[in-house]
Structure 1
Amino acid sequence: MCGIAGFVRLDGMALSRETDRRILRTMAQQLAHRGPDDEKTFLWTNVGLSFRRLAIVDLATGAQPLRSDDERLALICNGEIYNHLDLRSRFCSSQHFRTASDCEVLLHLYDRLGLAFLDQLNGIYAFALLDKRRQKLILCRDRLGVKPLFYYCDANVFIFGSEVKAVLAHPNVKSGFHWAEALSYRNSMNYPDRDRKLSSFFENIYQLPAGHVLEIDLASGAQKARSYWDPRSIRRDAEPAQDESVYIRRYRELLDDAVKMQLMADVECGIFLSGGIDSLAVARLASRHKAIHAFTVLSQSTITNGDAPTACAAAKFFGLPSHMVLYDWRELDLDPSLWRKIIRQVETPIAGAEQFYKFLLHAHARKRVPNLKVMLLGSGSDEFNGGYSKSAFNTPDGPSWAEFEKNLRYRDRESLLHRSGDWSAYANASLDDEWLISRDFLAEQTGAPPYDGAFDAYRDIYRHMLQMYQLWHEDRTSAANGVEARVPFLDHRIVELTYLVPKALHEKLFWDKAILREAMKPDLPDEFRLRPKTPFFIGEDLRYTRRLLYNLLCAHDNALLEEALVELSETARVVNKDVLWSLFKKLPDDPEYANVDMVLDLVNMGLLAAMGRTPLEACAWEGPLPVTEVAIDDWSAWRQKFGISLVRRAPTLDRDSVLCFADGIRIVCSEAGDPRLKEDGDYYILRHNALEFALEPQLKPWVRFLRHVDGAQSVAEILDEIGMSDAEVWKHLEEAVEYNVLCVVSPPEAGAQASWSAL
């Protein structure tokens, strides 16, 4: 993992050794975090290249730019060529190699095969290759877009870099924050659209799409971009359809080979072990090839949704050193400058808890194991194995493949309507799930070919989203800490295999990632292999993660909000300042803090807009990491002893506290046939007869506790009487006290029981 940047004078004028080299160094400095081990610049006539190196393979001689023996070719490359040894033996056995670097093989392959050599690569890469004889600069991005590459072009200069900030650092760049793109992205990202462009969130700065190559003629300034890989072009009839067991076996073989190849490193490797099937599969296979470290987020959310205990058990089962990294939302030092640094590094407004968790997890991993520079991830499995088929594109109750297909047809139609502009009553009229105006007509208006099936539309959504979200932030949060993120599930051979699966087998193999779960049957116990998908940190206790973000916004007298408002309401005049303040102040009124993401998105936009105006301004945060590592030998014992402390926050509440109900509180049970409530037998909390909280069915232990609150017994006495542990009710106790449902009384007050009745 490295950082590349450079520029071309499109008028052919030679670069200045002094002025332009200084610009190249400034651009490279913006990428210092990506490559802390070395920096080089290179000028040739009207081309300038800069490179920052993170030394992972060939630590001694792998410096870049790399050059051919005749000096005709020069290369800077961010990434890894996993099959470089095989390529050397097959195509370049007679060639002289100056280094043991995996990237040097690109020069010799290009010299022999031209750009057709791209078909031979297995790796993650974004590179710039200078061909002096042909007067060409060639930019290329790997097939799935694991490695980033941005560019800016005007009449005089073409500028590129691994990150937006490197492009912004060039004095010719005229760019501002793209408010319209940022404000509309969340609304549009879930619609299939094969031709959707990749935004950078900055005006006039673009991403080179995954699987694309761009040639620049150095003499004329002409540019030509083309796709060199697109899995949609894979013909399912290219080979006879196979039995599902054949695809499962081939999937297992390819995944094992991909994991083995991606452990290629002369440094230590780790894995983010979340507790889901994706990271469990990679960890299991990796543990058989190399000693690696496992790192897991330990928070109230990951404890409750089962990720943390599963990851803890799996690390022990696989024999991996386990690093459980504690994020205590009450105790974290949430310095606003830390978030400014994270936003500056990730360069996207769609940033929140996931980026916060992963940035600090990478930082802790690098500090804990200083020679660790490679981190394996489970990203890419959901996108091509159907991981969201039961959740994002289905009904919460009784999800099915039929409902999945129906939902994708709806999303496809919505996308066509957006693009065609046809929002008339005719286009929206339907009967029995069939529309009045045909899909074929709408597709004709937009030039969109029909999808062969729902799963094809699903993959189009996520091939785009991978580049705009998952791979974007996985790259930035790792690179910010001098770590390279690697993604075995995005080995192009695995992706191509999923495209070869005939439509008739889609439901069998891609419903809830069946192809992966079946492939790992020989390797994982069922408790790991069949564990239901749980989105990272999302679940019953999502509210605690949202409170962490709220605390971040509140830190230092709302410093982040105040700073963002300068851009939002004064410089850019994007939002109504009073409305945003009101939204922020009302966040604590909702126990779930549901709108915190919206407020944080707008704050992020303001911070990025400021970065666009002052791209060279560095972030000052250099504080200690606000997370700690916890040693856990016995999960159950640790959970009982320490787990409840993650939610304990009311200083007046402890096991000796005596509780009573606040004034006006009434707890009711709905009766059969009551039209106002969801299910008969469910419990609800009313305040002065107004419905305030619903007690979900899984909260029956909490209801049992509430039945014993009488203003006389202590918490400990009630727990002993009903035979419950602290951990079963404590977070609900804390919330009840915080939201004035229960009060801590001293001395005990008589007559403090709530009324219990049917509604």
Structure 2
Amino acid sequence: MGRPVTREIFSRQCDRLLRRGPDDFGYLIDGDFGFGMRRLSIIDVERGRQPIRSADGRYSIVCNGEIVNHLDLRRELGGKPAFRTRSDIETLLAAYVKWGHEAWLRLEGMYAAAIWDHLTKTLTLARDPLGIKPLFFSEQLGGLAFASEISALRVVPGFQFDVDERGIRDFFRFGHVLGPRSIFRQVRAVPPGHVVTVGALGTATRCFWKPQMRPQAGRSDRDWIEETRHRVRATVEKHMLSDVPVGVFLSSGVDSSAIAASMATISTHPVKAFTAGFPGSKIDETAAASEIARHIGLEHVVLPIVPETAAEVLPAVQRSFDEPTAANSAIPLWYLSRSASQHVKVVLCGEGGDELFLGYNRQRWARRMARWSTLVHALGGLEFVGEIPDLPSRQLNYLRDHADRFRRGAMLTNGYERFFAAVTITSDDVRKHIYDPEFYHLWDEPMSEATFAATYFTAKQQGLSELEQLALGDIAVHMPASLLQRLDRSTMAWSLEARVPFLSHQFVDWALTMPTDMKLRGGVGKYALRRAFEPLLPDGALHRRKLGFQMPLADWFVGSFNDFARDAWQSSGLASEGFLDARGIERTFEEHRKGIRNHGRLLYAIAMLSCWWREQLPVPVTIPARERQIA
């Protein structure tokens, strides 16, 4: 602020976001402030152009997302102001004008919104409670720039972008950068459920929502199951609001099946369901998904994912991301989105079901770790397991590594720490060997699971079980940083809007009142959700082994993937940047090739970081001098 703003600046920013909104473009300039919008037209296709100005002329808004309860809000607003469009974003602005910051909790859906107050010259940035839509900002040179993607910030004249060493540390621990920081020191994300206000008095951030575990006792299984069916159907119905056809991503799992079954009971015409197929792979779900689709009356579209070389697919997928990602599930999601975008502009997805209803294997393993913790401590931590030398069998070496990870998890003290251990993609020992020694001692060594837990859960909820603590970590940390980032980038790469009915914050608030024994019973997760939708699905459909939405790297990239990852690493220039130790990386490749260690996740991470380094850093960036700061 304080400097002239030209249309050229935010036009260049919006050009970087063309794939997020190829249908329309609009902008506004008000002195030293300006913003623009690339629109994917879903609701009020003809008249919903942004920016939208309030009826009194004081406020203007741009917003990426959908407010799925906006018709209810219009009724609550009582016809005032007189709306000029049918746009949900005009409804959002009217709600803000009437209720101020109280409006955010009235909204259902997903949004990254920017509201400009022409009178007070104040900018308000708001991000939806769960972090479904991304929103980044950078304060430099006495001004501020914001965008849905970091790439749109990098075209602002004079802005600098230094690689944040904490982001590199996060990436090799978790496969992504932990918010609210980003891979660049000068860029931060607006945290989920937060509002950032920028005005004459500076920048202020406030939280308007966070997940709260409030389990309720005293209700019968039948009550919970019936309410689950009712609430899922209600949130799905709201998320189907659209002026264009809406499809669904369908696997053989309970989350997408529950959403698809709900859609089939609501829609007056056949719903298109899209399934990614991996012909010949052990994780191919097309037969099971087809059975479900036929049973509930969906128009089923199977999209076989044909193997391509790693050199073709990995750079293309990583190019869709602002930051390096090591989520291999991003690859099939990217493929599926590419194909589905040829049929529809909107899809409903089952993301959030595992987090809310305890469907992950890691949640079950964490519970076992807690149960065995006392014995493992009594036996001195079973440290000898980690000291077992390399064995002649690949399977035995992998089993030793699993056992070592289990006993390390059992030594931790609470569910928050076990959450960070569960989502870690590398061990401490591995990172010690792949990092430059100075980088390791400065940035990684001081950060134990307990340190991360204290950083992200300083106001711990009292009285939570270890399993509830771990689930809170999945919802508050892992979901916005990994799960929702991969969904947004993979779908937006093909101008496809992905909606997540499970992640309306009002649905989440309710789900967090459900006791854990209604979610995880015995060894079966999502108990109430399964029981709620079993009557609508084929017999036995929900009793199949969970496969997960991941690419069969073992089948596709055997041999050639190792070669590609090595070539990508060697040609990226990363070896000279001071993060990684070239000899340690080469040792990692050899250990994996010989079957001494299973470094598959790490090699994938190295390959993707190398692709990002080459693709996303054409603009010169600086590698900062090392600072003694680890927060």
Q: Could you tell me the TM-score, scaled by structure 2's length?
A: 0.79
Map of 2:431 onto structure 1:
none
Equivalent residue letter for 1:569: A
How does 1:581-620 map onto structure 2 within 5 Å?
A: 581=586, 583-584=588-589, 587-590=592-595, 594-611=598-615, 613-615=617-619
- Tell me, in whole angstroms, the C-alpha distance in 2 between the residues paired with 1:310 and 1:322: 12
Instruction: String of CA shifts for 1:248-283, please: whole Å, max 9, x gaps.
Output: 222211110111111111222222211111111111
CA-CA distance at 1:351 after TM superposition = 2.9
Unpaired stretches in structure 1, ≥5 consecutive residues: 1-8, 191-195, 418-422, 424-438, 618-759
Question: Any idea what the Cα deviations from partners look like across 1:64-108, whole Å, max 9, x if unmatched?
Answer: 001113321100000001011111111141321111111111121
- Partners in 1 of 2:338 and 2:230 — Cα distance? 33
Query: 2:272 maps to which residue?
Result: 293
3-state SS of the aligned residue for 1:76?
strand
- Aligned partner of 1:470 in structure 2 is 483
2:231 aligned residue? 254
Structure 1 Cα separation of the partners of residues 183 and 463 of structure 2: 29
User: How far apart are residue 199 of structure 1 and its match?
Assistant: 3.0
Partner of 2:120: 134
Task: Label 1:317 to 1:551 Cα distance change in 2 as closer, same or farther (>3 A).
Answer: farther
Quote the residue 2:203 is aligned against: 223
The answer to whether the 8 Å contact 2:566/2:589 transfers is no
1:308 aligns with 2:286: yes
Inter-partner Cα distance in structure 1 for 2:13 and 2:563: 34
Match of 1:211?
Answer: 193
Letter in 1 for 2:135: L
Answering whether residue 471 of structure 2 is matched by residue 485 of structure 1, we say no
Provide the residue aligned with 2:571 in structure 1.
563
Distance of 2:531 and 2:364 partners within structure 1: 22
Q: Does 1:327 align with 2:327?
A: no
Q: How does 1:699-710 map to 2 (within 5 A)?
A: none
8 Å contact from structure 2 (residues 211, 509) kept in 1: yes
The aligned counterpart of 2:13 is 27
Correspondence for 2:53:
67
- Match for residue 374 of structure 1 among 328, 346, 365: 346
2:509 to 492, 496, 501: 496
Please say which of residues 464-473 and 289-298 is displaced more in the overlay. 289-298
| 1:453 matched to 2:465 | yes
Compared CA separation, residues 117 and 356, structure 1 to 2 (3 A):
same
Amino acid at match of 2:601: D
2:279 & 2:539 partners in 1: Cα distance?
25
Alpha-carbon separation, structure 1, partners of 2:296 and 2:507: 24
1:282 aligned to which of 241, 248, 259: 259
Measured at CA, do residues 162 and 443 of structure 1 come closer, stay the same or move farther in structure 2, by a change above 3 Å? Answer: closer
What does 1:722-741 correspond to in 2, within 5 Å? Answer: none
What is the CA distance between 1:157 and its match in structure 2? 1.3
Q: State how far apart, in whole Å, the 1-side matches of 2:74 and 2:456 are.
A: 49
Q: Could you tell me how far 1:62 is from its partner in structure 2?
A: 0.6
Contact 1:189/1:461, CA 8 A, preserved across alignment: no
Q: Does 1:544 align with 2:555?
A: yes
Structure 1 runs (4+) deviating above 6 angstroms are 398-401, 403-406, 414-417, 442-446
Q: Deviations over 1:671-721 (max 9, x none)?
A: xxxxxxxxxxxxxxxxxxxxxxxxxxxxxxxxxxxxxxxxxxxxxxxxxxx
Q: Deviations over 1:611-670 (max 9, x none)?
A: 5542599xxxxxxxxxxxxxxxxxxxxxxxxxxxxxxxxxxxxxxxxxxxxxxxxxxxxx
User: Is residue 125–residue 196 contact of structure 2 (8 Å, CA) maintained in 1?
Assistant: yes
Structure 1 counterpart of 2:362: 392
Give, in angstroms, the shift of residue 553 of structure 1. 6.3
Inter-partner Cα distance in structure 2 for 1:184 and 1:333: 28
Larger-gyration structure (1/2): 1
Instruction: Give the secondary-structure state (helix, strand or coil) at the position aligned to 2:525.
Output: helix
Give the Å deviation of 1:402: 5.1
- Letter of the 1:574 partner, please give it: F
CA distance in 2, matches of 1:343, 1:100: 36
Q: Which amino acid aligns with 1:455?
A: L
Letter in 2 for 1:385: F
Q: Distance in 2 between matches of 1:455 and 1:43?
A: 50
CA distance in 2, matches of 1:615, 1:178: 16
Residues in 2 aligned to 1:208 and 1:573: alpha-carbon distance in whole angstroms: 29
- Cα offset, 1:116, TM superposition: 1.0
Counterparts in 2 of 1:578 and 1:400: CA distance versus 1, 3 Å: closer
Are the equivalent residues in 2 in contact too, given 1:77–1:125 (CA < 8 A)?
yes
Counterparts of 1:553 and 1:41, CA distance in 2: 47
Report Cα offsets for 1:132-152 as digits up to 9, x if no partner.
223321100011110111111
* Aligned with 2:4 (options 11, 15, 24): 15
What is the alpha-carbon distance in structure 1 between the residues aligned to residue 500 and residue 258 of structure 2? Answer: 12
Gaps of 5+ in 2: 375-408, 422-427, 429-449, 622-631
- From the superposition, tell whether residues 313 and 402 of structure 1 become closer, same or farther in structure 2 (CA, over 3 Å): farther
Task: Give the distance between the partners of 1:574 and 1:529, measured in 2 at CA.
Answer: 45
The letter for the 2-side match of 1:386 is L
In the superposition, the TM-score normalised over structure 1's length comes to: 0.66
Alpha-carbon contact 2:275-2:301 (below 8 Å) kept: yes
What is the alpha-carbon distance in structure 1 between the residues aligned to residue 335 and residue 492 of structure 2? Answer: 12
Q: How far apart are the structure 1 equivalents of 2:287 and 2:261?
A: 17
- 1:122 aligned onto 2:108: yes
Distance 2:614 2:479 in 1: 26
Q: Secondary structure at the match of 1:260?
A: helix
Note if contact 2:175-2:325 (Cα within 8 Å) is conserved in structure 1. no
Give 1:514 shift.
0.6
Aligned to 2:580: 575
- Count matched residues: 552
Q: Which residue of 2 aligns with 1:359?
A: 334
Alpha-carbon deviation of 1:509?
10
Instruction: Provide the C-alpha distance between the structure 2 equivalents of 1:587 and 1:510, rounded to a whole number of angstroms.
Output: 32
Equivalent pair of 1:241/1:501 in contact (CA under 8 Å): no
CA gap 1:509/1:264 in 2 versus in 1, 3 angstroms? farther
CA contact (8 A) 2:124 2:196 kept: yes
> What is residue 528 of structure 1 aligned with on the other side?
541
- Structure with the larger RCO, 1 or 2 (CA within 8 Å, 6+ apart): 2
What is the distance in 2 between the residues matched to 1:314 and 1:224?
49
Distance of aligned partners of 1:412 and 1:101 in 2 relative to their CA distance in 1, 3 Å threshold:
closer
Please name the residue that 2:355 is paired with: 383
- Superposed displacement of residue 596, structure 1: 3.7
In structure 2, give the amino acid aligned to 1:15.
Answer: P
SS in structure 2 of the partner of residue 304 of structure 1: coil
CA distance in 2 between partners of 1:443 and 1:560 (Å): 36
1:153 is displaced (CA, Å) by 1.4
- Residue 105 of structure 1 aligns to which amino acid in structure 2? T
2:528 corresponds to:
515
Q: Quick check: 2:358–2:519 contact (8 Å CA) kept in 1?
A: no
Percentage identity across paired residues of the two chains: 25
Deviates more, 1:476-485 or 1:246-255: 246-255
Q: Which moved more, 1:484-493 or 1:197-206?
A: 197-206
